[in-house]
Structures are given as structure tokens and as C-alpha cells.
Amino acid sequence: MKVLVVGGGGREHALCWKLKRSPSVSEVVCAPGNAGIKRDARCVAVGAEDIDGQVRLARAEQPELIVVGPEVPLVLGLADRLRAFGFSVFGPDQAAAELEGSKSFSKVLMAEAGVPTARFEVHTDANLAEHTIREWGAPIVIKASGLAAGKGVIVADDVEDAVLVARDMLAGNSFGKAGSQVVVEECLVGEEASCLFIVSGDMILPLASSQDHKRLLNGDGGPNTGGMGAYSPAPCVTPDVADMVLEQIARPTIAALKARGIEFVGTLYAGVMLTADGPKALEFNVRFGDPECQPLMSRLKSDLGRVLLAAARKELDGATLEWEDQTALCVVIASDGYPGSFEKGQIIGGLDAVEEAGAAVFHAGTREEDGHIVNIGGRVLGVNALGATVAEAQKTVYAALEHLDWPGGFYRKDIGYRAIAREKSLN
């Protein structure tokens, strides 16, 4: 079958890479794609957020399956528009995408469903938000309710900082409309994991566990980003934990949506904190994680096209997923300056040598210009390898990265450190 993938980041590269290797798939088209996706798909220059353009493209291409990668087109209702033309779409409708598009919607739904999560209040008035912040004290978490590319969450160690952040968000200074509602949350302590599920109506198929590093700097310091590296499986997600996340978080959430008349078809991504009181939901996303998708796809042995088509057609009953036993680890290479501003158009060299050293390079913010690969985004590459342990996979990735020739790029040097410490303590 022919598959159309919407998007052009590292996640979409991993999806196209895997779809191209799926026996059920004969052709992969990606819009807009990027310089690396070109190797695995035919790229068409239609932006992921150009909803009319994507609908026109789908009607011209007539794919049997459409996979929508990023959250923004889902929140803008691309899946609804495509389904109205009869396409099989993997990705939730606009109403279900509110789980990611509005943190206040998602927290209220969690409360309704009895999903374990941090205590919270939703505020639109700065004085009321300040009152709650002072009453609860620091550390405290302030979140812009709307979409902010993973950057709209501030964990404040100081009450005055928290008040300033909340006031800034509500004044529309830091995140525009996304900050017109803020969620004030109790700060949870524990290890974080990403638990993803392929959902099709009542059917929920868990993916392998993964973990990402959201902070910019080594040792999980600095600001939150979209994700600086990830690996799968996550050793802290034991079978018991995975079961708790499925039964206490994923299932009740999908049921609560259904009770509101909303059906979910797509990837449900639960960001969970493994607290002393058990797993608690931090957030939901309605798509594959980026960069979690890169290690997940490199471990998946099953035919991705078949599973996603079955989900899109509500024929997921009985489907299973097979995974490589090995660990996969992905390090993100970002442009210097990310998550702030950075210089675009810098030439990136050494990519063939990185791959010859045993790593796979997934492209995110890249473009081809005059025969060179250049950076056009904040997160630019995901360099991924498999290994018998997290430590081995990490070693291969960092050794391969020695060959990267891009002075204007940077990456964390410690991706996987928690899991490696756990491995060491078990030996």
C-alpha cells in the first residue's frame, strides 16, 4: 500500500524509515519531509500545518493510509478533514487532540476519570494564580495550557519566580495565546518515563517503554526542551509499572473521552512520573514522542504499516507487537542557541562517517542546499544505535558522533545516565 506521512521532523523520519521497511508498504510519501527523509520517502513540499494543502495532497495522492506525525495539525483538525473524505487516518480527531492541545482539558479529564496525577488548579486571573502559588509554596509547577512545543512548563524552586512566570504567561508575554490559561501544579518527585499506546476505539495496544531527557543540559539541568535524547526500553518501567500505567492511566482516560462522546484513534503518549505512591500522569500527548519514536522504531520488528492501518480502520483486535531485545538509544544534536534563537543554514558534515561507525542518523531540522545538508531547525539530528545494554548503545552513539563535523551543533554527553546507573547497580 501507499502511505502518506504528514510532518518533517525526527519522529517522521523514524516513521518513514520503518514504513519503508514494512512488507505491507510499497510506497511512502512524506509532506514536507526533510533532507534525510528523502532517502526513505518521496517528499512533497506541503507544510505540516497547511491543512488545506495536506487535504489537497491526500486527494491527489490517494494513499491507503495517512499517518499524521505532529500535534499541531491534529489540534487544527487535519484528521477530521481527511476522514471526511474517507481516508484511513492514524491520528486523533480535533476533539481527542485536546488531550494535548489543552493541558487544562487534560487535567480536568484526568480528575474526572480518577487518573492519578498532580494536584492542580486552572487559572486565567493572575491574582488568583498568585494566591494559589503563595498558599502551596515552592517547588511548584506552572504550565501554559496551550501548545508550546514542549517549552511551556516551568518547574519553579522559588515562589517569587513562579509568580512572575504565571503573570508573564497570563499577560500573553511568554507563550502568546497558549498562556492565556495556566495550570498551577503540585511538584511531583520521581523518575519520568514515556508510556505510549496505539489506540483504536476501545482497543489499546501498549508500545515498548521509553524514556527521554527533556532538559537541555547534562545532568538534567537547564530549561525544558522538546527532548534531547531517548532510549528504549526504560529499565524503570517494570512489567508491573507498565500494567499500572495501562490500567490506571491509559484505559480510564480513553473511557472518559468516550463518555464525552469522543473516540480516540492514534498514539496516546502518557508522560508519567514514577513516584513513591505509584505512577502519576504528568501529561498526555496525542502522537509519537520525539525523540522517543526513533529508538522505538529501531527496535520494532513488526510491520508498522499493517498495525497503523489496522488501528486506523478499527481492526486492531488481536494485534501484537514484536520488539528487538536490544536497547536503542538516540542522542539529539541541536543548533547552538536552542531552545532560543540560532543561526540557520550552517553546513553539517561527517554524516556518512557517523553511519559507517554503526549509528543511524534520523534527520529533524535539516534541508539540502547546493548539495550540502544544512540546519533549519532547533533539533536537527537524532543519532541512534542498538546495543546489548543501555551503556553499549550509548558508547556506540558517542563514538560515532566523534565523526560529526558541525561546530555550530551541540548535544548532551550523558543520555541514558540514569538507566546506566541502574544497570550498574544490578551487576
User: In this complex, which beta carbon is closest to ligand AMP, that of residue 363 or of residue 412?
Assistant: 412
The three cell numbers locating residue 12: 517522521
Strands 191-200, 372-375: parallel, antiparallel or unpaired by DSSP?
Answer: unpaired
User: In this complex, which beta carbon is closest to ligand GLY, that of residue 151 or of residue 280?
Assistant: 151
User: In this complex, which beta carbon is closest to ligand GLY, that of residue 227 or of residue 252?
Assistant: 227
Residue pair 134/156 in contact by the 8 Å Cβ criterion: no
Q: Which residues of the chain form contacts with ligand AMP (CB under 6 A)?
A: 118, 141, 143, 153, 155, 185, 187-188, 192, 214, 224, 271, 282-283
Which of 32, 33, 227, 378: binder of ligand GLY (CB under 6 A)? Answer: 227
Q: Is the omega angle on the peptide bond into residue 32 within 30 degrees of 0, that is, cis?
A: yes
Q: Taking CB positions, which residue lies at the least distance from ligand AMP? A: 283
**Minimum CB distance to ligand AMP, residue 230 (Å):** 12
**Minimum CB distance to ligand GLY, residue 37 (Å):** 18
**Minimum CB distance to ligand AMP, residue 364 (Å):** 19
Residue pair 240/424 in contact by the 8 Å Cβ criterion: no
**Residue 192 contact, options ligand AMP, ligand GLY, none, Cβ 5-8 Å cut-off depending on partner type:** ligand AMP
Extract the runs of DSSP E, i.e. beta strands, from 41-117. Answer: 42-43, 65-68, 89-90
**Residue 185 contact, options ligand AMP, ligand GLY, none, Cβ 5-8 Å cut-off depending on partner type:** ligand AMP
Q: Is the omega angle on the peptide bond into residue 291 within 30 degrees of 0, that is, cis?
A: yes
Kindly list the distances between the CA atom of residue 60 and the CA atoms of 45, 54, 366, in Å, as whole numbers in the listed order: 14, 10, 26
Which of 9, 10, 289, 409: binder of ligand GLY (CB under 6 A)? Answer: 289
**Residue 305 contact, options ligand GLY, ligand AMP, none, Cβ 5-8 Å cut-off depending on partner type:** none
Stretch of residues binding ligand GLY (CB under 6 A), selected from 76-84, 282-290, 366-374, 409-417: 282-290
Kindly list the distances between the CA atom of residue 248 and the CA atoms of 53, 187, 212, 251, in Å, as whole numbers in the listed order: 39, 20, 22, 7
Which 143-162 positions form the footprint of ligand GLY (CB under 6 A)? 150
**Residue 289 contact, options ligand AMP, ligand GLY, none, Cβ 5-8 Å cut-off depending on partner type:** ligand GLY
Could you tell me which of 385, 17, 415, 78 has the C-alpha nearest to residue 213?
415
User: In this complex, which beta carbon is closest to ligand AMP, that of residue 32 or of residue 150?
Assistant: 150
Residue pair 353/379 in contact by the 8 Å Cβ criterion: no
Which 199-218 positions form the footprint of ligand GLY (CB under 6 A)? 212
Going across the sheet that includes 278-285, the strands are: 203-206, 191-200, 265-275, 278-285
Q: What residues line the site for ligand GLY (CB under 6 A)?
A: 150, 212, 226-227, 285, 289-290, 292
